[in-house]
Structure 1
């Protein structure tokens, strides 16, 4: 590993919020689909969409991972 560089695995509040909301949404959708409840399926899909939006807003607010700078020295 090159000194001065850190590998980040995205362990930020924005990333964890996104993961938790998407996991809950997929679980709700899956259970609803198994039991044939289409309204529950779409509620789960809405939770997934909400998770993506909340994650993006949190990242824009500075709670996400900063973009890597790409300079010729990094290449």
Structure 2
């Protein structure tokens, strides 16, 4: 998320948008790890969330929801 905004300012590494995006991604990994996931598992889940967010822009949201549920083995996603 926020990658389009980050792209606009990628030539300024210390720009607040760039640092916010980088911080958000790091924090999300740490948040997932705080629930006991190893870093690799946290990265995989983060990739699933990022891809899901992207896919909902172009695909049927209910279909995306069902596929995500099957990938993570959840019984409920809201």
**TM-score w.r.t. structure 1 length?**
0.35
* Higher relative contact order (Cα pairs below 8 Å, separated by 6+ residues): 1
The structure with the larger Rg is 1
- TM-score, normalised relative to structure 2: 0.34
